Amino acid sequence: MGVNVAVVGVTGAVGTEMLRVLERRNFPVDELRPLASSRSAGKNVIFRGKEVPVQELTADSFEDMNIGLFSAGSSISRKFVPYAIEKNCVVVDNTSAFRMDEGVPLVVPEVNADKIPGHNGIIANPNCSTIQLVLVLKPIHDTVKIRRVVVSTYQAVSGAGLKALDELKKESEHILADKGEFNRSIFPHQMAFNVLPQIPQSNAFLPNGYTDEEMKMINETRKILDDSSFRITTTTVRVPVFRGHSESVNIETEEKLSADQARDLLSKAEGVIVLDDPSNQIYPMASDAAGKDETFVGRIRKDHSVENGLNMWIVSDNLLKGAALNAVQIAEKLI
Which chain residues interact with ligand 3JM by CB under 6 A? 73-75, 95-96, 127-128, 159, 216
> Least distance to ligand NAP from the beta carbon of 72, Å?
3
| 128 noted as active-site residue | yes
304 among known catalytic residues: no
Compare residues 133 and 273 and give the one whose CB is closer to ligand NAP.
Answer: 133
Spatial distance between the Cα atoms of 173 and 149, rounded to a whole number of angstroms = 38
Complex with ligand NAP: residue 112 or 311, whichever CB lies closer: 112
CB atoms within 10 A of CB 27: 18
Judged by beta carbon, residue 66 or residue 94, the one nearer ligand 3JM is 94
Closer residue to ligand 3JM (CB): 21 or 251: 21
Residues in contact with ligand NAP by CB under 6 A are 9-15, 36-37, 39-40, 57, 71-74, 76, 94-95, 125, 127-128, 159, 161-163, 322-323
Q: Pick one of ligand NAP, ligand 3JM, none as the site partner of residue 329 (Cβ within 5 to 8 A by kind).
A: none
Selection from ligand NAP, ligand 3JM, none that 40 binds (CB < 5 to 8 A by kind) is ligand NAP
Query: Which candidate, 69, 63, 116, 71, places its Cα nearest to that of 96?
Result: 71
CB of 73 to ligand 3JM, least distance (A): 3
**Nearer Cβ to ligand 3JM (75/88):** 75
Long-range Cβ pairs for the range 161-169 (8 Å, 24+): 161/12, 161/13, 162/12, 162/13, 164/191, 164/201, 165/13, 165/242, 167/191, 168/192, 168/240, 168/242
- Of 119, 128, 189, 304, the active-site residue reads 128
Half-sphere exposure of 40 (CA within 13 A, CB side): 19
| Active-site entry in 89, 119, 141, 245 | 245
Q: Could you tell which of ligand NAP, ligand 3JM, none binds residue 72, using a CB distance below 5 to 8 A set by kind?
A: ligand NAP
CB of 73 to ligand NAP, least distance (A): 4
Contacts of 151 (CB under 8 A, 6+ apart): 129, 133, 217, 232, 233, 234, 235, 247, 248, 249, 250
Active site residues: 128, 245
